[in-house]
Every structure is written in structure tokens, then in C-alpha cells.
Amino acid sequence: MINSKECEFISITVNNKLNSKELMSMVFSAFPVLTCIIEFLFASALTEKDDPPSILPTTLCSTSHTHLPNILIQSASFGNTLVSVTVNPEKGLVDEQLSVSVSGLKPEENVTVSATIEQSSKKRETVFRSFGHFKASVDGCVNLVTDPCLAGTYSGIDPMGLFWSMTQVVGKHGRIMTHDATKSLDYTVMVHPGHISQNSEFTSDIKPLATKLVPRSFMRSGVRKITVYHGRLRGSLFIPSDETTNRRRRQYPAVIDLSGSTGSLIESRGALLASHGFITLSLAYFAYEDLPSAITDVDFEYFEEAIEWLINHEQVSSEKGIGVLGTSLGGIIALYIAKECPQVSAVISINASPAFFVFSIRHNGKQIPSSPLECGSFELKDDGSLLALWKVDESKLFYFDETCRSKVLFLISGDDQVVYTSDYYLWFDKLTPAKRKDVEFVMYEDAGHLLEPPYTPLFNTCYAALYGRPTVFGGYPRPHAEAQEKSWLKIREFFAENL
């Protein structure tokens, strides 16, 4: 767009008799960046020669205005179309919504907006990517909060669609896991001209119009991480930001977070819970440092020690007891803890029924009974992944008696390809009426086995150490994304109410 001063300048016929001060004032107000042209006009006006300096190109030396205005307009147009990506807020948590917008595009220009995240380890490199096709407004802007995605890994209006719709493009059957929550999850958002597809893999010969690094944190400012190396306990303790001004540190409700059959130590959920006001112990229990390498070598007394240690922490408010959260195998252990430990008052089980399958932990020196291999149905898929769906042996289900004081929340995915959803209700029907009041089921239709914090992708098929091969976990992207957002809010509400 050319303003009035630019139009005034363009209408001038450049000649050597023009007052130099007037000319310079108009030039500087119209095009301050075109220094070389300004110097030429200034020198020409002062010398009052009929012929311009021969060292400049003839297109610039012409006393006619035919060429000069065209060059100036093209340069101004280039300067005004710098494409940029804006993210708001610039810094935030992984589980918080953000807005992404693009400006500086041509009116109604077609563009592709993509997001990429990379995680590398000694064993493998994993890259997830999403993309969406957009049409810029007449002002040359795209706003992912209000503008529809026309096609891509998602469609329609969804502020966070670019993040939850990611699919794996490098490596196979991977999963985004965070073993060190002090490090941010770094997304790279790019804008490309035209509508390109995932199949093009966004190769280097397709130059982006703009690139923006979008770091999202697991730990809110002020949250502390303490490495736990107490006796045989291994894990990480996350303590919320201490906002009190007196010398005595504030106390918080406490939660133990247990991952599944992957083992190791995964810190992401624990750090996020601390960012929302819960002291959280992310507890490793096998396949980590000097802990047992196999789940069958883990004893229940280890978890009792963790509960005792956490309850006695100076910043834990334990009058109401503490909470335990577990996914898959970790969920089974969380339910067993609810059965055995009166200090625990709130337990959340994510896609885990109250029965061990084939592999179990020890209690009082003996293996806890588990459903045998015959209870599983197994199918090897064409891509080499395993579909392993488990039906519990009813005789191996464990129940809560009247000594159990814990409220229990089951978060259940309707498309879980690991556990039969009917098993939950089979178990529930055999509870006493009094204990049924302490149990709540929440079902998320078409969600998969791995319910993670919001805006992380669906991991439909992942490598499972339990089977030594990729395993089908189920789920459909959009309903799974909605389930993760709703379940994360439910988790925080449940613990806030019962702790």
C-alpha cells in the first residue's frame, strides 16, 4: 500500500534545478532505506550538472520519472511483506492453550502451516509433524484460533489442532517421552507457500516463508525438582512454587505418579501436576538405574516405603492422606495400593483393571496372582505390530473391603486395544453397595490406551517392552485429543476434592 507522501514523491519529475533541501526532505520521509538513490539525487542537485554521474546504471540516471518510481515501489513492497509467526503466550506450559498467527502474507494467499518436534536418543530418532492448509485474509493474515484449516492432519477451526494432530514421519511406533522435565518440549512452526502435503516431507528445496521456535515447559516458574535417592527409592520429587513470605514453607497435597510397562522414569506428568499445586513424586519402580530390570522382581513393600517417605515430607499436607495416579500397569499397582494402604485417600487408574496380567509384583514374598497367558487374544498385524487384548480371569480380580478408605476414579478409553472395557463393570458389580459409592467411572469414546496430558499426539501404536515389539494401543486422533483435555482437568479436580 503506497501512502500519500510516496504518491507525492512519485509524481515529481526529477531535475537538477530542484531545491536540494526540499528534495531530500521528501525522499527521506518516503523511502529512508534507499540510501544509494538518495545520495545520487543529493549529489545531482548540488552539482547542477546536466548529465548525471556515469557510475550509476542508466535506469537510475534517467531524468525521466518512468524508471525510478517502479524501482522504489518494488522495494517498498518487498519490505512490507515480511512474513512472521506470532505465538501467544511466548512462554507457557505444555498443557496450556496458545494462539498461533501469521502476518505479512499476500492477500488471500494459500499457505501451509506445519509443526515439528524431534526427540533423539542413542537408540532411535523420532520426528513428529503436523500440517494444515490455510487461506490468508485480505489483510494477509492467518489466525489458527479463528481460521479454519482446509485440509491436513486436522481440519476445521481448532486452536491446538496443529499440536495434537501430529503423526510420526521419522522412525516407527515411537512415543514422545520426557525423562527430564527441566527441559522444554520444543516445537518448530513453519509457514510454506502454497498447499503442500505430508508426502513431500517438507524437503529443504521448499523454502519456508517464516519459522518460529515454540518452547513449552513442564515446570512452571518456581517449581523445584529434587532427585530422590533415598534408600532403595528412585524418582523425582516436584514441589510447587512456594508463594508464602514467612519462613515456614507452605504445605501441599501430595501424589505419587506411576508410569506403565515401559518402566524407567517419566517425569512429564509429575512436573505438570506440581505446576498446578500438587507435590508429586514421579516414582520409578523397574528398568531404571539399580532397580529390578523385570516387573516380577518388584515387591509391593517398595511402594509402601515410597508412601511413608512422601507422607513424612515437611511440605506435604497429609491430613486427608495422599493420592496415587497410574497408567496401564502403573494403574493396576495404584489400585492394589488403594486396597492395601489406608494412608492413600485418592487413586486414579488410567486404562487399568484391578487384576495383573501374566506378570505381577510380589507381596509378602509371593507373586500376586495374575491372569494367565490364555486370557489374552493375540494378532500380528501386517505392519509387524501386535494386537494384544486382555480379558481378565475373574478369579484373579482383587476387591476393596471396608478397610479401604480411598476414593477411586477409573478413566476408561472406549477404543482401548489392551483391556476389555466390560471387565470394569464385571468387577464393579461384585463390590458391596458401600464401596460402590467410592468408585467413579468416566468413559471416553474412541480414545486410545495412552491418555497423556493435553495437546500431545495420539500414540496409536507404540513399542512395548513387555512384548518386545510394537503394540496397538488404539484411539482416533480428534476424540483422543478431546479425551486428553477432559481427563487432565478431571484428574486435577479429583485430587483437589479428595486431598
Q: How many CB atoms lie within 10 A of CB 375?
A: 18
Q: What is 369-437 written as a DSSP string? A: PEE-GGGEEEEE-TTS-EEEEE---GGG-----TT---EEEEEEETT-SSB-THHHHHHHTTS-HHHHT
Q: Which of 133, 192, 313, 449 is catalytic?
A: 449
CA–CA dist 65, 35 (Å, integer)? 18
CA–CA dist 238, 223 (Å, integer)? 7
Q: Is 65 a known active-site residue?
A: no
Q: Please check whether residue 202 is in contact with residue 190, taking contact to mean a CB–CB distance below 8 angstroms.
A: yes
Q: Which of 44, 114, 328, 413 is catalytic?
A: 328
The x, y and z cell numbers of residue 6, run together, are 510516496
Question: How many whole angstroms from its chain centre is CA 35?
Answer: 47
CA–CA dist 223, 274 (Å, integer)? 7
Q: Is 328 a known active-site residue?
A: yes
Residue 147 makes CB contacts below 8 A (sequence gap 6+) with: 134, 135, 137, 157
Q: Is 354 helix (H, G, I), strand (E, B) or coil?
A: coil
In the block, residue with C-alpha cell 517449581: 223
Of 460, 399, 395, 449, the closest CA to residue 421 belongs to 449
The partner residues of 167 in beta bridges, in order of sequence, read 129
Q: How many CB atoms lie within 10 A of CB 445?
A: 12
Q: Is 264 a known active-site residue?
A: no
CA–CA dist 123, 213 (Å, integer)? 25
Burial 387-415 (b: 16+ CB within 10 A, else e): bbbbbbbeebbbebeeebbbbbbbbbbbb
Q: Which of 147, 158, 257, 416 is catalytic?
A: 416
Secondary structure of 426-468 in the HEC alphabet?
A: HHHCCCCHHHHCCEEEEEECCCCCCCCCCCCCCCCEEEECCCC
Q: Is 330 helix (H, G, I), strand (E, B) or coil?
A: helix
Question: How many whole angstroms from its chain centre is CA 395?
Answer: 40
Residues that are catalytic: 328, 416, 449
